[in-house]
Amino acid sequence: MIHLEHVSKYYATPRGRHWVLKDVTLTIPDIARVGVVGPNGAGKSTLMRLFAGVDAPNKGKIIRTGSISWPMGLAQSMHGSLTGKENARFACHIQGLDRNKIQTTVAGIQEFADIGKYFHMPVRTYSSGMKARLNFAIAMAFDFDCYIIDELTAVGDKQFREKSAAAFQGKREESSFIKVSHNLNELKKECNMGLVLSNSKAVLYPSITEAISVYEDFLKNRA
Amino acid sequence: MTSSAFFKRMQLSKQSKTHKKDDLFVTLISKFKPITPAQELKRGFYNFKSVIWALIFKEFKIRLGESKLGIVWVLIELIVSMIVMSWIWLIIGRTKIDNIHVMLFLGAGFTIFFIIRRGFSPVPQGIKSNSALLNYPGVKPIDTIFARFILEMWLHSIAVILLFFSLFWILGLSPIFSDPLLCFQALGSSAMLALGIGLLLGIYQTFYESIGKVISIITQPLMIMSAILYSMNDLPQSAREVLSWNPIVHLVSAFRQGLLGANAFPEYDLSYPTFLGLFFLGIAFISYHANRFRLIQK
């Protein structure tokens, strides 16, 4: 569960504060598959960072229960000079995994990422698709109660998208996810709740179709 | 739990929540138990430990990966500096400074100086070079500084052992350890000063890049001003009074006194660098606490 209470978040810019969230109160339940939609620059990634606890709000508080993954996104949470394998090991270490379990976990990540010999090459040589695969594979190796996915599947090929969907199918009973995507059809298929982020407001809807229609109305009004 | 049932319970919890604590709210709507402060502390410590280890391991891997020569250089830089600088003294015809063999004298000086220098050079850059890893919720900017500091100190210790071992093996020179406690005190104070400088610079260098450039210019004459290559006792009083503002001078003198039995200069006071180190460390922690989220955003 993630509970936001009167949360405000802004960035200081030369032209005054840019408000990403303004006095937002909402609760995401334990078993929720939330699709997050919003226009570019609305602060979806910032919201994901707040959910994951990487960033902190300027005002208000966030209560989290259960384990929450880091925001899986593009080119994040991986060190460019380390190889894929070393990045996987690093993640195992910071998750406090037992030393004798690391070997098998890394092997599992290698198999899931399926990026061939690039697994032994520095991450800076990867394409964005390969980065996404590795990032996703690393996060999937651990059992989080909630996974946070920030436009990760956007760059993946069809096989990867099917694979990631299947991976969640297996975990669906125990784990939830919060997913940012511009692919509305994909969200419609996978999610059961929707969150619309626009104009510094975040509103949670109990059904994804409702959220998407609100979002589409918003886009129409703006155009 | 279906979403509609969840919303019903949300409504319920909202009614009962107004005057109650977050814990009750959590237990009402989540299957996970709220964490007590003691649990949080324990988990935080465990997390801190594993993150630091992971970062040290990673830093070492990168050091090795960049070039095998890099690691070798870190280990022998101390010996090379000592030999080159002693050579100059030996050519002039001076074999002893303060009644101590030049090589031991300079070796002890470089031992302290290189600790401080690491606070300027590889330690503060830790935050920037690990920025991608700050995306993990467990990894805090300060951890990257700590990890780098620990690895640097570890490598330096090996280099120091190599230096004194080879001096003993090849030339038969050995320190007399006249005051072992003072040795450790000097080493500890130096490490503290280095960490204070490293953390402070690490924070502000991340915000203002030009600070790093200014610092690298300022630190150019640091070695000459730190009495590494000569003895403070050979200088006139007026020069000593100016140089004794430099905390490294006191640390070097303390280490030489404890390790080699060298005489300290009249203005010597080890408490000055120790308190300065504590002061820097305190300021650094305060500024880190004030800027910890800004650092992640950078």
What's the pLDDT tens digit per position in B43-78? Answer: 888 888 889 999 998 888 888 777 778 888 888 999
CB contacts, 8 Å: A86 with chain B: 58, 61
What average pLDDT is seen over chain B?
Answer: 87
Task: Note the pLDDT of residue A11.
Answer: 86
Mean pLDDT throughout A162-173?
75
How many CB pairs (< 8 A) connect A and B?
Answer: 105
pLDDT recorded at residue B18 = 45
Query: Which among B7, B25, B135 has CB closest to A206?
Result: B7
Instruction: Say if the Cβ atoms of A94 and B26 lie within 8 Å.
Output: no
Kindly report, residue by residue over B255-276, the tens digit of the pLDDT: 999 999 999 999 999 999 999 9
Three-state DSSP state, B240: helix
CB contact under 8 A, A82 and B61: yes
Residue B44 CA to residue B115 CA, distance in Å, equals: 29
- The pLDDT of residue B12: 54
Mutate to test the interface with B, among A62, A65, A68 (most CBs of B within 10 A): A65
pTM summary value = 0.87
Query: Hey, which residues does A27 pair with through a beta bridge?
Result: A3
Quick one: pLDDT band at residue A151, thresholds 50, 70, 90? Answer: confident
Residue span(s) of chain A under CATH 3.40.50.300 come to 1-67+146-156+174-223
Going across the sheet that includes A59-64, the strands are A16-28, A2-13, A59-64
> Can you give the pLDDT at residue B63?
80
Kindly state whether A203 is in contact with chain B, defined as any CB-CB distance less than 8 angstroms.
no
- Which residues, in sequence order, are CB contacts of A223 under 8 Å at separation 6+? none
The amino acid occupying position B50 is: S
Confidence of residue A152 (pLDDT cuts 50, 70, 90): confident
Q: Is B4 domain-assigned?
A: no
pLDDT digits (tens, 9 = 90+) for B86-142: 999 999 999 999 889 999 999 999 999 999 999 998 899 999 888 888 888 888 999
**What is the per-residue pLDDT for B258?**
94
CATH for A1-67+146-156+174-223 (3.40.50.620, 3.30.565.10, 3.40.50.300, 3.50.50.60): 3.40.50.300
The answer to the question of residue B286 being in a domain is yes
CA distance, residue B76 to nearest chain A CA (Å):
25
Please check the confidence at residue B193 and state whether its pLDDT lies above 90: yes
Residue that is written with structure tokens 């404890």 in the block? B258
Q: How many CB atoms lie within 10 A of CB B225?
A: 14
Q: Inspect the interface and report whether the beta carbons of A1 and B26 lie closer than 8 Å.
A: yes
**In the prediction, which pLDDT does A106 show?**
93
Q: What residues of A are in contact with residue B29 (Cβ under 8 Å)?
A: 1, 27, 29
The answer, for B131 touching chain A at a CB cutoff of 8 Å, is no
pLDDT band at B41 (very low <50, low <70, confident <90, very high): confident
Exposure pattern of A117-129 as b/e (b: 16+ CB <10 Å)? ebbeebbeebeee
Chain B residues within 8 A of A29 when measuring between CB atoms: 1, 3, 6, 10, 29-30
From first CA to last CA, the distance across chain A in angstroms is: 35
If one counts the domains in chain B, the total is 1
Domain boundaries, position B170: 26-297
Give the pLDDT of residue B17: 46
- The predicted pLDDT at position A200 comes to 86
CA distances from B115 to B150, B160, B186, B254 (A): 11, 11, 11, 14
Please state the ipTM of this predicted complex.
0.84
Please name the residues between 8 and 37 in chain B that touch chain A, using a CB distance below 8 Å: 10, 22, 25-26, 29-35
pLDDT 10s digits, B1-33:
455 655 555 555 555 444 445 666 666 667 777
By Cβ distance, the residue of B3, B31, B33 closest to A206 is B3
Stronger pLDDT, A32 or B35, i.e. the higher one: A32
Nearest-Cα residue of chain B relative to residue A53: B137
Burial B53-65 (b: 16+ CB within 10 A, else e): ebbbbbbebbbee
Q: How far is CA A65 from CA A46, A55, A91, in A?
A: 20, 17, 21
Distance CA B298, CA B294 (A): 6
Cβ contacts of B230 within 8 Å, gap of 6 or more: B97
pLDDT of B278 reads 97
- Which of A68, A82, A192 faces B62 most closely, judged by CB atoms? A82
pLDDT tens figures, A35-91: 999 888 888 888 998 998 888 898 888 988 888 888 887 656 788 888 999 999 999
Q: Which residue bears the tokens 């698709």?
A: A129
pLDDT level of residue B200 (50, 70, 90 thresholds): very high
Please give, rounded to a whole number of angstroms, the shortest distance from the CA of B61 to a CA of chain A.
Answer: 8
Q: Give the pLDDT confidence score for residue B77 in this predicted structure.
A: 92
Contact (CB<8Å) A70/B137: yes
What is the radius of gyration, based on Cα positions, of chain B? 25
pLDDT score of B246 = 94
Nearest CB to B30; choose among A53, A65, A91: A65
A177 has pLDDT over 70: yes
**Average pLDDT score over residue span B151-172:** 94
Cα separation values, B33 from A50, A172, A174, A185, B23, Å: 21, 21, 16, 35, 8
A13 interfaces chain B, CB cutoff of 8 Å: no
Q: B8 lies in a domain?
A: no
Average pLDDT for A118-147: 88
pLDDT at B298 over 70: no
- Return the higher-pLDDT residue of A109 and B35: A109
The two structure tokens encoding residue B67: 């070039």
